[in-house]
């Protein structure tokens, strides 16, 4: 395995994920030689990746986390802008109270949010995210309800008429919605057209809609239109987001919280 020159921590994580997809496991000694860093640095990187839900540590190395095996796209999304997503997650967690019922759609940012909510008790979380259900269904403070229906195996979520029929039975205090684009002109958009109907119904059946979008989503437009911004109560994004786009949203009456 040829050595790799100096790379950032995030680039190192991405390379490790590529190796895991190709080989199934990695060993600390081999990664140390590959990146020309100490085994202590390798173990620190793997520990951070384990906390992010990307890998499971083994003796002398790591394997892919069971919740994300076989889902390369999910791994790539979860590893992108990790620190920005974590800051958003902490901000949103401060808006949630014990005992509330939440709708949470699929997405890596929303997964980080649920990780931050573990200190709260008696939360009911209704979601179409398969990784979320797998990772948190046995958490003592959470009652996780996974919507049934069709399964998008590539992106690890459920959708379709059966999922919508089940969702109609519920109402929630808050929705935490992960989207791929938000702007005054284009509204909310997502890459996953199959999830649009789920997102819309979740927004209709809650008291407060909270949109989670890292800085790269502000002013962006993705494949499928969800709704206009009038349906958004609060947008949580990064302070590094486009200030001009944020001001347009503020002027339209959207509450914006910067993380």
What are the tens digits of pLDDT across the range 79-105? Answer: 567 889 999 999 999 999 999 999 999
Taking only the tens place, the pLDDT of each residue in 5-30 is: 567 787 788 788 878 877 778 999 99
Q: Strand pairing partners for 225?
A: 189
The predicted structure's pLDDT at residue 148: 95
Residues contacting 234, CB < 8 A, separation 6+:
95, 208, 209, 210, 211, 254, 255, 256, 257
What is the C-alpha separation between 225 and 222, in angstroms, rounded?
Answer: 8
Q: Is 212 left (phi over 0), alpha (psi -120 to 50) or beta?
A: beta
Give me the residue label for tokens 């969800």. 226
The residue ranges of the chain whose pLDDT is under 70 are 1-6, 66-80
pTM: 0.71
């Amino acid at each position: 395995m040829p050595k790799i020159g100096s790379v950032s921590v995030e680039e190192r994580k991405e390379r490790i994920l590529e190796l895991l997809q190709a080989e199934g496991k990695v060993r600390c000694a081999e990664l140390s030689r590959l990146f020309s860093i100490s085994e202590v640095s390798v173990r620190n990187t793997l520990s951070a990746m384990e906390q992010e839900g990307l890998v499971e540590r083994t003796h002398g190395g790591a394997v892919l986390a069971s919740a994300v095996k076989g889902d390369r796209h999910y791994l790539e999304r979860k590893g992108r802008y990790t620190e920005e997503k974590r800051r958003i997650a902490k901000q949103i967690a401060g808006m949630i109270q014990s005992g509330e019922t939440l709708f949470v759609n699929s997405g890596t940012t929303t997964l980080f949010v649920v990780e931050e909510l573990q200190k709260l008790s008696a939360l009911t979380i209704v979601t179409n995210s398969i990784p979320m259900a797998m990772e948190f269904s046995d958490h003592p403070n959470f009652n996780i309800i996974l919507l049934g229906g069709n399964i998008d195996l590539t992106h690890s979520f459920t959708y379709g008429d059966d999922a919508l029929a089940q969702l109609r039975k519920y109402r929630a205090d808050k929705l935490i919605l992960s989207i791929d684009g938000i702007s005054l002109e284009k509204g909310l958009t997502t890459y996953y057209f199959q999830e649009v109907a789920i997102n819309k119904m979740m927004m209709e059946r809650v008291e407060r809609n909270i949109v989670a979008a890292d800085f790269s989503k502000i002013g962006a437009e993705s494949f499928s239109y969800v709704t206009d911004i009038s349906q958004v109560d609060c947008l949580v994004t990064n302070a590094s987001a486009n200030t001009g786009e944020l001001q347009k949203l503020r002027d339209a009456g959207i509450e914006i919280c910067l993380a």
